[in-house]
Chain A
Amino acid sequence: MLLITCPYCCTARPESEFRYSGEAHIARPLEPATVSDDDWAAFLYMRTNPKGLHAERWRHIHGCGRFFNALRNTVTDQILKTYPAGTPRPGLGAPAEGGR
């Protein structure tokens, strides 16, 4: 069970208080009507799925109820940093490209 620090509650709580919400920093297209099928597929389904650092969304569902992001190593499961939703990915290591 992971221990996760909610950046709003500022305390480490067990994973069972949280809900995982997938890869972070995937922006919904602003004008859906103009988006091509390929771009919709990329937005809806294509994922980086890196072996290494992964920026991901979590929600403190049994706490403050708010979404936030975490930077986690998917090989060791260590969480390096959590940060509020809407803020950019912290500069810890290079962002993963195409599954790397």
Chain B
Amino acid sequence: MRFSLFSLARQALGGHARWPAQWRSPEPKAAYDAVIVGGGGHGLGTAYYLAKEHGLRNIAVVEKGWLGGGNTGRNTTIIRSNYLWEESEAIYELSVKLWETLSDELNYNVMYSPRGVMMLAHTIHDIQVFKRHVHANRLAGIDNEWLTPEAAKDFCPPLNISPKLRYPVLGAALQRRGGTARHDAVAWGYARAASALGVDIIENAEVTAIRRDASGAVEGVETTRGVIKAKKVGVVAAGHTSVLMGMAGVRMPLESYPLQALVSEPVKPVLPCVVMSNTVHAYVSQSDKGELVIGAGTDVYTSYSQTGGLHVSAHTLDAICDLFPTFRRMRMMRNWGGIVDVTPDRSPIIGLTPVPGLYVNCGWGTGGFKATPGSAFVFAATMAHGEPHPIAAPFSLERFTTGRLIDEAAAAAVAH
């Protein structure tokens, strides 16, 4: 069913009792042309673009839990494209451009809100790094501007720019087209649109093995809901990528860390934009429900526990209380962790693997949500054609052998 004012009015008259399911829940078939492992935003988006852009309709997404229950549902929903290197600018800017029209594209409101992303500078080093980013972005046609502390406070009134702070605000880089979106809606919107195009979405099916034929090529996956044959398998499994790739005998340059987030009690609109600071490690925005959404850092050690140390959350709250004294008496309501797969150069890995027919899209680390549409778009093209999409090509697994790393450690807003 297409969402429209008419459908909304008709369902309202029916007491909203007759909305159909948003996507089908079929039994898995014995074989598909392609199988995507991982039902988060990136995986569901990949299936959607495979069906829509490349005409592959006989495909399935297998998810071990429920859709969007991993990092798609656990992140702080920030969108921006102010990265340093041209390779990164290309993929993150493609994403922002797709975000701008995604609600229309999917006929599903993903609540993209370009309210501005402001990154604070507290030291001379910060100023130099951020200005370098501003200039690099400007050359690439990506909006990013430098603000004085006063201009930063004009844009974000609750910000404390007192010079008496231990790390005073010396300026900020602002990307006005950056912002937030609704995380669940992204997964659900892609799932609904993909399902309508014939993609089978199979939840509660954990992959337990990847099957390979005598030549070494992929021939399918074994899941807790049976064996599914496919000549093409795309692994889009975030923190569990090493585990899945291990099933095919491939070692990955990944380490999985817990990354925490927390939300406050809901309050009236108080924070008009996204504010982040690498140096003191604050990372905060306000959801449409009124909660402050706060991103903490990663724990120092690898883990699959989906929880993290309390001192990691407390550290970011210290910084937020300094930058926003008005938040000091707010209570935090919930905190949680997600498992993020971090690469040595903090850039993703998108492309082919040494195993024929096996593709991987991983390594988004602490910042994958913003890239969801662009990542899915280029990964779908890569899987469809069996060769990397031009924007995905620099993010190959081979770069760790050739040495052509894409070092974005400074662009990551999260300490890790």
Q: Which residues of A contact B (CB under 8 A)?
A: 1-2, 15-16, 19-20, 22, 37-38, 40-42, 44-51, 54, 56, 72, 74-77, 97-100
Contact = CB atoms under 8 A, between A and B. Distances in A.
B57 interface: no
A72 to B, nearest CB: 7
Given A46-B253, A49-B252, A49-B255, A99 B242 contact: yes
Contacts, number: 84
B305 A74 contact: yes
A89 B402 CA distance: 32
A98 B249 CA distance: 6
B309 A47 contact: no
A47 B402 contact: no
Interface stretch (B37-45, B87-95, B153-161, B296-304): B296-304
A41 B300 contact: no
Given A46-B253, A48-B251, A51-B240, A37 B402 contact: yes
A75 B400 contact: no
A46 B402 contact: no
Contact of B254 (A22, A49, A51): A49
A99 B344 CA distance: 17
A91 B245 CA distance: 25
Given A1-B310, A100-B246, A19 B300 contact: yes
B64 to A, nearest CB: 12
Interface residues of B, number: 29
Interface of B: 240, 242-247, 249-256, 300-305, 309-311, 344, 400-403
Given A51-B240, A74-B305, A100-B246, A20 B255 contact: no
Given A47-B251, A49-B302, A74-B303, A1 B309 contact: yes
A29 B323 CA distance: 47
A75 B243 contact: no
Contacts of B253: 41, 45-47
Given A48-B251, A98-B251, A56 B302 contact: yes
A99 B244 CA distance: 8
8 contacts: A38-B401, A41-B400, A47-B251, A74-B302, A74-B303, A99-B247, A99-B251, A100-B247
Contact of A75 (B250, B301, B305, B401): B305
A50 B256 CA distance: 9
Contacts of A99: 242-247, 251-252
A87 to B, nearest CB: 20
